[in-house]
Amino acid sequence: MADYDYDLFVIGAGSGGTRASRVAAAHGARVAVAEEYRVGGTCVIRGCVPKKLLVYGAHFAEDLKDARRFGWQVPSECEFSWETLRDNVLAEVDRLNGAYKKTLESHNVEIIDQRAVVTGPHSVRLADGTEKTAERILIAVGAHPAVPSCPGHEHGITSNEAFHLDAIPSRVLIAGAGYIANEFAGVFHQFGAHVTLINRSKDILRGYDLTIRDRLLQISMMKGIEFRFDATFEGIEKMDDGCLKVSMSNHEPMIVDLVMFATGRLPNTHGLGLETAGVELDDHGAIKVDEDNRSTCPSIYAVGDVTNRVQLTPVAIREGQAFADTVFGGKPTRVDYDCIPAAVFSHPPMAGVGMTEAQARQTLGSVQVYTSDFRPMKNVLAGREERSLYKMVCDGDTGRVVGLHMIGPDVPEILQAAAIAVKAGLTKAQFDATVALHPTMAEELVLMR
């Protein structure tokens, strides 16, 4: 048997890599993980965690206004300090980074604070030139924001830099219409910026239910967020006063203070040396893997966004767990990708699980749709016209709930529990047989007609 430095060498200490490292070590493997930036990965350091904290902060803009209707004597002009929120969020990121490190260390995982590249089926080279060998290698390097190649693209930022801004700009242009674009549009808007989203097509949030995303579009426009569709970047020019002049197809140029690209994410496989081990990539640069996360090189595996299967943190964690249990724990496990819930932390948030109405009609043929379109009690007293919408998609023959889609306050929190029912294959009749919890927004799930 070959003598290797490690049983497992992990490249990338994000959500998938840290879970795989910790579990493999708990199963008795000798594990090292190399991370060139910070332990925690995209989600903890520059993604869902700090973004959600900004979303919480942004919600206070409307909450403080609404509080007056509930008897609180809130000053008409409340002062907001971006610097305070930014620094508190970054401090929390630092705390989590330390917590992740301690967890790995407590499981006897060696942390190597360097970039590592693959040099063969069982070998890697660190940034300092050191060579390491391992029986198995796991690639968990994640993905990075895509940036258009238009002239002047260097004047824009991505979500990575949004957490470090010196101040909130007055005019923000966001390229893209996916979840990152819509989430940051809501955040910047609530912090007082004038926000414009531009998108190459006429659709926002492709993949989500059409009715729900149309409602978000209506609400966003009502709040004052602008949209320019069928618009492709042609160039960004930095003016003498520091402002940015953005040219785009089918629309007049715009003058803004900040351009943010939110046009998708690309796997971090460039320059990783995967070709030295015969690891094949797909057309998007993602590592091709089988159901057991194994690449085309038998000793090299991959999990998380670098595989471009489902770019969600909980999925990467499950893939890392399944890999470690299968390879080192003697417990063959595969991730079930059916009925994965997802949320968009927009203003208001969206959440969904299962098939959209269009997918159900294409797949099942016979479909029954139930909805509840209502104004939350809090919005009524606050004088806010914003309406929530819940939508249940059922198999027309069996009544089984195959999709649940929602937009409104707290719907991600509500959907998590409801997703269990959809995953379990419960029927509309079983939802109806459950007594409503009144008065709540969640009760609409058992009252839909």
DSSP 8-state symbol, 36: S
Q: Is 305 annotated as a binding residue?
A: yes
What token pair was written down for 7? Answer: 């049983």
Give strand pairing partners of 33. 10, 111
Does the annotation flag 178 for ligand binding? Answer: yes
Q: Enumerate the active-site residues.
A: 438
Alpha-carbon gap, residue 128 to 137, rounded angstroms: 19
Rounded-to-integer distance, Cα 32 and Cα 11, Å: 9
Q: Is 183 annotated as a binding residue?
A: yes
Phi, psi (degrees; rounded to nearest 5) at 67? -60, -30
Which residues, 6 or more positions from 373, have their beta carbon under 8 angstroms from its beta carbon? 387, 388, 389
Annotated ligand binding at 293? The verdict is: no
CA distances, 11 to each of 32, 267, 320 (Å): 9, 13, 12
Tell me how far apart the alpha carbons of residues 219 and 188 are, in angstroms, rounded to a whole number. 15
- The verdict on whether residue 177 carries a ligand-binding annotation is yes
Which residues on adjacent β-strands are paired with residue 173?
196, 259
Say if CB 241 and CB 254 are below 8 A apart.
no
Annotation-wise, does 62 bind a ligand? no
Q: Do the bridges between strand 258-261 and strand 157-158 make them parallel or antiparallel, or are there none, so unpaired?
A: parallel
In sequence order, what DSSP letters do the residues of 71-102 get, joined into one string? T----SS----HHHHHHHHHHHHHHHHHHHHH
CB 300 within 8 A of CB 136: yes
CA-based R_g, the chain, Å? 24
Provide the token pair at 96: 């989590």
Q: Is 113 known to sit in a ligand binding site?
A: no
Which residues lie closer than 8 Å to 112 by C-beta, 6 or more apart? 32, 33, 34, 35, 126
Q: Binding site annotation covers 57?
A: no
Q: What is the DSSP string of 155-206?
A: G-EEHHHHTT-SS--SEEEEE--SHHHHHHHHHHHHTT-EEEEE-SSS-SST
Is 238 annotated to bind a ligand? Reply is no
Residue with tokens 């159901």: 291
Find out whether 34 and 114 touch, Cβ atoms under 8 Å: yes
Give the number of residues written for the chain: 449
Alpha carbon distance 46, 38 (integer Å) = 10
Reference 322, options 140, 124, 116; nearest CA is 140
- The DSSP symbol for 304 reads G
Residue ranges at the known binding site for FAD:
52
Q: Which residues contribute to the annotated binding site?
A: 52, 176-183, 264, 305
| Binding site per annotation, positions for NAD(+) | 176-183, 264, 305
